[in-house]
Structure 1
Amino acid sequence: MAAASLIPELDDIVKNGTAKKRAQAIERISELFLEGAARFQAQHVELFDDILVGLVPTTEIDTRAELAARLSRVDNAPPTLVRQLAREDEIKIAGPILSHSPLLDEPTLVDIARKKGQSHLAAISERPKLTTSITDVILRRGDRDVVRTVAANDGARFSEGGYAGLVKRATDDDVLAVTVGQREDISSASLKELLAKSEDGVRRNLLDAADPERKAAINDVMAEIASTQKPAQRDFGPAQRAILAMHQAGALNEKALLDFARQHKYEEAVAAFSALSGMRLPMVHQLIQGDREDPILLLAKSSGMEWTTVRALIMLRLGPGKTMPPPDIEEARVNYDRLSLSTAERVLAFWRAREKTKPA
Structure 2
Amino acid sequence: MQVVQHFLKWAETARVSERAGAAAALARVYLDRELPFEDRYAAEAALTSLLDDPSPKVRVALSEALSMSRHAPVQVVAALAADQPDVAGPILARSPVLSETDLIDRIADGRHKTQCLIAQRPQLTMGVSAAIAELGDPDACIALVENKSAEIAAISFRRMIERHSDEPRLREALICDARLPSDCRHLILTQLGETLRDAPLVKALVGAVRAEKLTHEACLRASLTLIATMEPAEHQALVEHLRIRGELTTGFIVRLVAHGKIDFFGNVLIALTGQARERVGGLLANGREVAIAALLHKAGLSKPVQKTIIRALAVWREVAQGERVAGAQEVSWLMLEAIGATPAQAGPEPDAAELAALLRSIHIEALRENARLQAQALVAA
Deviations 1:241-268 (A, max 9, x none): xxxxxxxxxxxxxxxxxxxxxxxxxxxx
Which of 20, 23, 32 lines up with 2:20 in the alignment?
23
Which of 229, 248, 263 lines up with 1:228 in the alignment?
248
Which of 48, 61, 72 lines up with 1:53 in the alignment?
48
- Is the Cα–Cα contact under 8 Å of residues 73 and 102 in structure 1 kept in the other structure? yes
Give secondary structure in 2 for the equivalent of 1:6.
helix
Q: Output the CA distance in 1 between the equivalents of 2:153 and 2:145.
A: 12
Task: Measure how far apart 1:124 and its partner are.
Answer: 0.8
Which of 117, 124, 130 lines up with 1:123 in the alignment?
117
1:172 aligns with 2:169: no
1:62 aligns with 2:62: no
* CA pair 147-77 structure 1, distance change in 2 beyond 3 A: same
Q: Output the CA distance in 1 between the equivalents of 2:112 and 2:30.
A: 32
1:74 aligns with 2:75: no
Mapping of 1:97-112 within 5 angstroms? 97-112=91-106
Q: Output the CA distance in 2 between the equivalents of 1:70 and 1:138.
A: 27
- Is the Cα–Cα contact under 8 Å of residues 93 and 118 in structure 2 kept in the other structure? yes
Which of 10, 13, 21 lines up with 2:10 in the alignment?
13
Which of 143, 152, 157 lines up with 1:149 in the alignment?
143
* CA pair 168-50 structure 1, distance change in 2 beyond 3 A: same
Q: Output the CA distance in 2 between the equivalents of 1:219 and 1:161.
A: 15
Identity %: 19
Q: Output the CA distance in 2 between the equivalents of 1:172 and 1:124.
A: 23
Q: Output the CA distance in 1 between the equivalents of 2:184 and 2:39.
A: 49
- Is the Cα–Cα contact under 8 Å of residues 68 and 96 in structure 1 kept in the other structure? yes
Task: Measure how far apart 1:7 and its partner are.
Answer: 2.1
> Mean Cα displacement is larger for which, 115-124 or 11-20?
11-20
Deviations 1:57-79 (A, max 9, x none): 31532332233223211121222
- Please, what TM-score do these two structures have when normalized by structure 2? 0.49
Mapping of 1:203-352 within 5 angstroms? 215-216=230-231, 228-231=248-251
Task: Measure how far apart 1:83 and its partner are.
Answer: 1.3
AA at the equivalent of 2:143: T
- Is the Cα–Cα contact under 8 Å of residues 22 and 55 in structure 1 kept in the other structure? no
Q: Output the CA distance in 2 between the equivalents of 1:220 and 1:32.
A: 57
Q: Output the CA distance in 2 between the equivalents of 1:143 and 1:49.
A: 36
AA at the equivalent of 1:99: A
Q: Output the CA distance in 1 between the equivalents of 2:167 and 2:250.
A: 27
**Between Structure 1 and Structure 2, how many residues are aligned?**
242
Task: Measure how far apart 1:87 and its partner are.
Answer: 0.9
AA at the equivalent of 1:77: A
AA at the equivalent of 2:117: A
Give secondary structure in 2 for the equivalent of 1:228.
coil
Task: Measure how far apart 1:55 and its partner are.
Answer: 2.2
* CA pair 169-230 structure 1, distance change in 2 beyond 3 A: farther
Task: Measure how far apart 1:222 and its partner are.
Answer: 11
Deviations 1:323-351 (A, max 9, x none): xxxxxxxxxxxxxxxxxxxx69x89xxxx
- Is the Cα–Cα contact under 8 Å of residues 112 and 137 in structure 2 kept in the other structure? yes
Deviations 1:160-195 (A, max 9, x none): 642331232464344433543555655554455445
- Is the Cα–Cα contact under 8 Å of residues 11 and 19 in structure 2 kept in the other structure? yes
Task: Measure how far apart 1:96 and its partner are.
Answer: 1.3
Flag structure 2 segments of 5+ consecutive residues without an equivalent: 194-217, 253-356
Q: Output the CA distance in 1 between the equivalents of 2:105 and 2:234.
A: 41
- Is the Cα–Cα contact under 8 Å of residues 191 and 221 in structure 1 kept in the other structure? no
Deviations 1:263-288 (A, max 9, x none): xxxxxxxxxxxxxxxxxx99995599
Task: Measure how far apart 1:25 and its partner are.
Answer: 2.7
* CA pair 229-16 structure 1, distance change in 2 beyond 3 A: same
Q: Output the CA distance in 1 between the equivalents of 2:138 and 2:88.
A: 21
Q: Output the CA distance in 2 between the equivalents of 1:137 and 1:42.
A: 39
Flag structure 1 segments of 5+ consecutive residues without an equivalent: 233-280, 299-342, 348-360
Give secondary structure in 2 for the equivalent of 1:52.
helix
AA at the equivalent of 2:64: A
Task: Measure how far apart 1:149 and its partner are.
Answer: 0.9
What RMSD in Å do the two structures reach over aligned CA positions?
4.6
Mapping of 1:188-199 within 5 angstroms? 189-199=183-193
AA at the equivalent of 1:57: D
Give secondary structure in 2 for the equivalent of 1:127.
coil
Q: Output the CA distance in 2 between the equivalents of 1:223 and 1:94.
A: 41
- Please, what TM-score do these two structures have when normalized by structure 1? 0.52
